[in-house]
Structure 1
Amino acid sequence: MVGSASTIAIAAAVAGLATATPVRTKVGTFSVPQVKNPGFKPHGPAQLAKAYLKYGVKLPEGLAKTVSDLKILRRDSGSAKTTPEENDIQYLTPVSIGTPAQTLNLDFDSGSSDLWVFSTELPAGSVNGQTQYDASKSSTAKKLSGASWDISYGDGSSSSGDVYTDTVTVGGVTFKSQAVEAAKQVSDQFQTDSNNDGLLGLAFSSINTVTPTAQKTFFDNIASSLDTAAWTADLKYHEAGTYDFGVIDSSKYTGDITYTDVDSSQGFWSFTATSASVGSGRNNTVLKASGFSGIADTGTTLALFPDSVVTAYYKQVTGAKLDNTQGGYVFPCTTTPPDFTFGVEDATITIPGKYINYAPVDESGSSCFGGIQTDEGIGFSIFGDVALKAAFVVFDNSKGTPRLGWAAKSS
């Protein structure tokens, strides 16, 4: 979520997948660019809170108070407060829904499996500038009788609604009977991000939350029509990147792609990293020589790693300290953190230190929040955007069993 605050919890319905109308023509490949969220103002504690809530972890007392005091998780008189710490995501992707097309900017989230949107079925007080899907204005919308969705959040709030099938187009590729989950109720955390109109999940369909029958993701619905049943993330540092479907664009990476097996049993793109170290090349110091499991999650901004790894890393960062009020490690903004390197099979991926200097936590701009924080309480590590931006990443389901590919970026 990106990202997006307090998103989908990991518990979900795993009933048989719904049968959808097949794509009748081979579409081959397509690419979709991200667009910059004009309201984005990075705030590390808010992004950490978002990640914890997404995976059902109770916020530490200091972090909970910080986000509450900043009014990131509140509304005032029916409208979201605009603060320098607005809790939203940096990049969104345009998606067309319905006939005629209604364009909504969605967060592509490999950590969830629902395509849900703000809709005209929401109370007026729950909408804060978001574009709303109006099923009544789409000639191709069909209500899925008896279907509903109800997503629970780690802070006890939830979002829910009913379900339609409708024409959905991403990057020029259309699926005519995609499940579109229309929100009738959304939590305050989503209301505060006026530019984000919903999520498009890219995890595995087994954790889609529609009941009584789970629905397929957009990718699973179109996979058989692609040249290759794979999609790639080429996320960028401080600029919009691209998602490609059906093609592995050789111009976007250098050297070889290193593939590693994915455990999809929990519905996520889960894999085992082989090591972690601080620095790169001959100047690196091993932080963890054995493997640790994690998921590749485009919907989470920060990278969350084992507590022992994070503690050892920040011992190498000048002026770093654990700030319980902010909920994580901070350091002077003038500090350039060392690189962080993790292993994938026999390859290494290096997160540049500048990525780890995420954003100031105070108005003076003197103290900055680390882009790497602890995964304590989650049960696995989260390779969010801070990590994914360091590589060209392939989400591949073309070989019968899923796998993740990692390669050095071409630029």
Structure 2
Amino acid sequence: MKVTNTAAAIAAYVLCCRDLVSAGPVQKRGVLDPLFEITTLGGMTFKISQVPNKKFYGQRKGRGSMAIARAYSKYGAAISDDLLSTIEEILKELGLLGNDGAGNNTTADPQGEVAAVPQMFDSEYLCPVEIGTPPQTLNLDFDTGSSDLWVFSSETPSIQVMGQDAWDIEQSSTAKLQTGESWAISYGDGSSSSGNVYLDKVSVGGVTVQNQAVESASNVSVSFTQRPDTDGLLGLAFGSINTVKPTQQKTFFENAVSDLASPLFTANLRKAEPGNYNFGFIDTTEFTGQITFVPVNSSSGFWQFTSEGYSIAGSSAVSAPHEAIADTGTTLLLLPQEIADAYYSQVQGAVNDVSGAGGYVFPCSASLPDYTAMIGSHQAVIPGDFINFAPVDGDTFEDATTCFGGIQASPANFPLAIYGDIFLKAQFVVFHGGNNELGFANKPL
């Protein structure tokens, strides 16, 4: 693919390369939910278990720089010229960014990328979703930081499809085009995805919505074209940020919630092993102690909550109230700058290498302290070894001397911290749509 400038080439690439985990067989179950004193026998429940995706294409080196650039781009924050230059050098070294001789930067075919071990940098999770009649199964990214269900389809130009399974609209007898409706998502790198809107039958784990809005991509940004196993996104934030115009559409969860035994879903992501999502029930074997529920401010369309402060290495709590988002679609834990600074002041040799790696780095031999987020009465502990995210100057932790931190600063002028997978892999999280709450509990790690 040809692009016309360095920034576009790099920004297009940084969104595309993520470790993938896909979902395995689902299981329906009914349980007694002691937290809400109801017996979940009258509605549907299902579990989606994650398994490693063996077809992942990605790179080891530069994972930290890529991760922070992806997060900033997702929320429309500017990526600094220094970070773009750093990523350019990484891609050139990996043979993934070159020059066509006419001054235009090019990105390599993703089939030539170096395969990464999913468990090392587990940062994206895919789940099977059935669409249409007869059902067509696509692997979608469940994302609590967005609200569109969009897919590669028979309307997607063939040049933009690079290994993805596409929804064949004409093969679905229940697909209904919504004339006059369209969707478009823009990203911080200047790219976008857009297309038409259909209503069709969508099933996840045996729960079916008959007239779910399915957004068919007639244009896909390079950032998604170069992710060969991601067939689209299933947004699990609130419908108020759905991009369909002129009529916003409800998310799958919002449409399915009345059929669920309890109006909630849970995320139990894991470090270096498969995790799962549960819909309609809380599995009491997946967490320890009690679940602490806190109010959600959904006015921005996100699962937004307040963290009252933090502690480092088990020290006394520091009051530092800040608003945050629980986002399964972001890899890192992005905190206010002063909190990130406070954390790395406790890590020997750590430096904020903004002009190089794009954020905080430290000697791989350093011992990282635990970080504890204070959320209501809950103390959410993220072990230090979870925070050692990726090597900077080597392909593996064993051959690297410098490592990139899983805690980084949230974008300047962005009002919310982003509690991504570094945080979520250490916690059991309940997304309660009935009470508009988030629940947090510790779990076996």
TM-score w.r.t. the length of structure 1 is 0.88
What is the percentage of aligned positions where both structures have the same residue? 48
- Separation of aligned partners in 2, 1:45 and 1:205: 31
Deviations 1:6-45 (A, max 9, x none): 89xxxxxxxxxxxxxxxxx964211112232331555111
Provide closer, same or farther for how the CA distance between residues 151 and 200 of structure 1 changes in structure 2, counting only shifts above 3 A. Answer: same
Q: Provide the residue aligned with 2:176 in structure 1.
A: 142
1:192 matched to 2:202: no
Confirm or deny: 8 A CA contact 2:16 2:226 kept in the other structure. Answer: no
Q: Provide the residue aligned with 2:329 in structure 1.
A: 299
Confirm or deny: 8 A CA contact 2:43 2:262 kept in the other structure. Answer: no
- Separation of aligned partners in 1, 2:211 and 2:283: 28
Q: Provide the residue aligned with 1:5 in structure 2.
A: 15
- Separation of aligned partners in 2, 1:28 and 1:353: 38
2:155 is aligned, of 92, 100, 121, to 121
Q: Provide the residue aligned with 1:408 in structure 2.
A: 442
1:384 is aligned, of 409, 412, 420, to 420
Q: Provide the residue aligned with 2:243 in structure 1.
A: 209
Provide closer, same or farther for how the CA distance between residues 396 and 77 of structure 1 changes in structure 2, counting only shifts above 3 A. Answer: closer
Confirm or deny: 8 A CA contact 1:75 1:81 kept in the other structure. Answer: no
- One-letter code of the match for 1:306? P
Q: Provide the residue aligned with 2:305 in structure 1.
A: 271
Alignment of 1:70-219 (within 5 A): 70-71=90-91, 76=107, 81-83=112-114, 89-219=123-253
Question: Unaligned stretches of 5+ in structure 2?
Answer: 1-13, 18-40, 98-104
1:46 matched to 2:66: yes
TM-score w.r.t. the length of structure 2 is 0.82
Deviations 1:75-120 (A, max 9, x none): 6476565146899944211111112222111111000000011122
SS at match of 1:338: coil
Q: Provide the residue aligned with 2:383 in structure 1.
A: 352
- One-letter code of the match for 1:389? K
1:30 matched to 2:30: no
- Separation of aligned partners in 2, 1:88 and 1:235: 9
Runs of 4+ in structure 1 deviating by more than 3 angstroms, as ranges, are 68-81, 83-90
Q: When the two structures are aligned, how many residues end up with a matched partner?
A: 385
Q: RMSD over aligned Cα, in angstroms?
A: 2.3
- Separation of aligned partners in 2, 1:69 and 1:191: 22
- One-letter code of the match for 2:365? T
- One-letter code of the match for 2:225? Q
Provide closer, same or farther for how the CA distance between residues 373 and 223 of structure 1 changes in structure 2, counting only shifts above 3 A. Answer: same
- One-letter code of the match for 1:103? T
Task: State the 1:123 CA deviation.
Answer: 1.8
Q: Provide the residue aligned with 2:350 in structure 1.
A: 320
Is 293-302 or 373-382 further displaced after alignment? 373-382
Confirm or deny: 8 A CA contact 2:388 2:403 kept in the other structure. Answer: yes
1:240 matched to 2:260: no
Task: State the 1:249 CA deviation.
Answer: 1.0
- Separation of aligned partners in 1, 2:164 and 2:250: 25
Task: State the 1:290 CA deviation.
Answer: 2.9
Task: State the 1:149 CA deviation.
Answer: 0.4
Task: State the 1:271 CA deviation.
Answer: 0.5
Question: Unaligned stretches of 5+ in structure 1?
Answer: 8-24
SS at match of 2:323: strand
- Separation of aligned partners in 2, 1:41 and 1:192: 13
Confirm or deny: 8 A CA contact 1:322 1:330 kept in the other structure. Answer: yes
Confirm or deny: 8 A CA contact 2:65 2:357 kept in the other structure. Answer: yes
Provide closer, same or farther for how the CA distance between residues 135 and 171 of structure 1 changes in structure 2, counting only shifts above 3 A. Answer: same
Q: Provide the residue aligned with 1:369 in structure 2.
A: 404
Confirm or deny: 8 A CA contact 2:126 2:230 kept in the other structure. Answer: yes
Confirm or deny: 8 A CA contact 1:150 1:210 kept in the other structure. Answer: yes
Is 362-371 or 308-317 further displaced after alignment? 362-371
